[in-house]
Amino acid sequence: MAEKFDVIIVGAGPAGSAAAYSLAKMGFNVLMVERGKYPGAKNVMGGRMYAYALNRLIPDFWKEAPVERCVTHEKLTFLSDKASATLDFQDEELLEPPNSFTILRARFDQWFANKAVDAGATLISNIRVDDLLWKDKRVIGIVAGTDKLEASVVIVADGAVSLMAEKAGLKKFLAKEFAIGMKEIIELHGKTIEDRFSLVNGEGAAQLFIGQCTKQIPGGAFIYTNKTSLSLGIVVYIDHLIENKVEAYELMRDFNSNPVIAKLIEGGKLVEYSAHIIPEASRTGLFTDGLLVVGDAAGLLVNSGITLRGMDMAIASGMAAAEASKLALEKQDFSKKSLSYYEQLLKNDFVLKDMQTFKRSPEFLQNARLYSLYPELVCRLFHRLAVVKGSKKRLFDEFLEETKGKKIQIIRDLIRGLRAL
């Protein structure tokens, strides 16, 4: 008879590896199945991971993990057709303890999955899981090609387009709930990066862009500094992209040729291009009999405009799924009721709390004025402040003039923004 595992995990992204590592450390017999040639081979993200979640699982992980730079410089740039205005925030406290690191997924995911293997988990790469194995309306394993593998619990960690969550009847794909992210990695000398982003001693920068870079389509652009490369890209809501009849590659091309960006990437060599979807507002059911859903597969992601948090949510949910599986294995009860402990753990921790706190954020961030009126307004005000052509008005008068006929709308947006973000 084929070996039966305590837990099978579908997908070796951060959610899957966090679950596998936790369960292997607890002494369970865990199998992780990954469709990529190796973990991280196909995985995409902007490039910044908030550190606290992984730090709970592997204290001081940055001393051994392949992190790129610790982010100490946060920048937000408003882009209009002709101008740009940047808020530049630097804080030594972002360094100690480290708040966030830039990472490259191909390296990071391999390291994390190998940590799970070192702890005792089994990893099979280059195998796609095609289906779930059922018995008496309970999930009892997975199907991969002609192989059928059994487990007491299956943890679904297969990312945003979760085929397995759909097969379990827990997810439906609706375009309006997803954004698409395009990303390039551009190689540059480390010293050039530090000079261009005013960094010293291996520090890192995260720069977000809003406005003209998405042709006023809801979304934004980013640049993260790695050791010897830049991760840059654009994230836009899929249904708005279709509605505006704009091709994703056009946005990327125009972003790269914007004079503000062109200066930052000048002389660099494009070494990677990828695209992936992001579950901005796509929650699924979290469990059913014999099965738990974690990370992007469950739509556990918070975008509050400035911070996009998928990695920390994925890691924390993987850890919680391991904890819930442990209890189920101890009780030998793999029913929905028993596995609902997973949801309880997510509610007690930050994952579902933060999802609840920022539940208005996806709707607010689809307000087109955020990407047209406001970047334009910020740039116009800076223009009026900067230009001297004889007699000048006070800032307040300039503001009143620039916002003529729009004040009520602006106040409404401000209130909605403060409640959402």
Ligand X SMILES: Cc1cc2nc3c(=O)[nH]c(=O)nc-3n(C[C@H](O)[C@H](O)[C@H](O)COP(=O)(O)OP(=O)(O)OC[C@H]3O[C@@H](n4cnc5c(N)ncnc54)[C@H](O)[C@@H]3O)c2cc1C
Distance CA 206, CA 77 (A): 11
Which residue's CB is nearer to ligand X, number 33 or number 346?
33
Tokens of 71: 């982010």
Tell me the closest approach of the beta carbon of residue 373 to ligand X, in angstroms. 26
Tell me the closest approach of the beta carbon of residue 382 to ligand X, in angstroms. 27
The answer to whether the beta carbons of residues 106 and 147 sit under 8 Å apart is no
Which residue's CB is nearer to ligand X, number 43 or number 361?
43
Tokens of 37: 């040639």
DSSP assignments along 128-195, one per residue: ---EEEEETTEEEEEEETTEEEEEEEEEE---SS-HHHHHTT-----GGGEEEEEEEEEE--HHHHHH
Tell me the closest approach of the beta carbon of residue 272 to ligand X, in angstroms. 12
The answer to whether the beta carbons of residues 90 and 75 sit under 8 Å apart is no
Tell me the closest approach of the beta carbon of residue 199 to ligand X, in angstroms. 18
Tell me the closest approach of the beta carbon of residue 302 to ligand X, in angstroms. 9
Tell me the closest approach of the beta carbon of residue 35 to ligand X, in angstroms. 4
The number of residues in the chain equals 421
Distance CA 268, CA 40 (A): 24
Residue nearest ligand X by beta-carbon distance:
310
Which residue's CB is nearer to ligand X, number 181 or number 375?
181
Which residue's CB is nearer to ligand X, number 332 or number 356?
356
Largest separation between any pair of C-alpha atoms in the chain: 89
Which residue's CB is nearer to ligand X, number 238 or number 377?
238
Which among 407, 304, 288 is positioned nearest to 357, based on CA atoms? 304
Question: Cβ–Cβ contacts within 10 Å for residue 357, how many?
Answer: 14
Tell me the closest approach of the beta carbon of residue 16 to ligand X, in angstroms. 6
Residue 93 CA, chain-centre distance (Å), reads 23
DSSP assignments along 252-291, one per residue: HHHHHHSHHHHHHHTT-EEEEEEEEEEESS-----EETTE
Determine if residue 266 is left, alpha or beta; phi over 0 gives left, psi from -120 to 50 gives alpha, anything else beta: beta
Distance CA 284, CA 292 (A): 11
Which residue's CB is nearer to ligand X, number 19 or number 329?
19
Which residue's CB is nearer to ligand X, number 83 or number 197?
197
Which residue's CB is nearer to ligand X, number 80 or number 231?
231
Q: Give me the residues that bind ligand X (CB under 6 A), please.
A: 10-16, 33-36, 39, 42-49, 128-129, 157-159, 163, 181, 183, 233, 235, 276, 278, 295-297, 301, 308-312, 314
Tell me the closest approach of the beta carbon of residue 70 to ligand X, in angstroms. 14
Tell me the closest approach of the beta carbon of residue 102 to ligand X, in angstroms. 8
Which residue's CB is nearer to ligand X, number 34 or number 376?
34
Tell me the closest approach of the beta carbon of residue 380 to ligand X, in angstroms. 30
Angle at 162 between CA 157 and CA 163, to 5 degrees: 115
DSSP 8-state symbol, 318: H
What three-state secondary structure class fits 306? coil
Which residue's CB is nearer to ligand X, number 179 or number 373?
179
Distance CA 365, CA 61 (A): 33
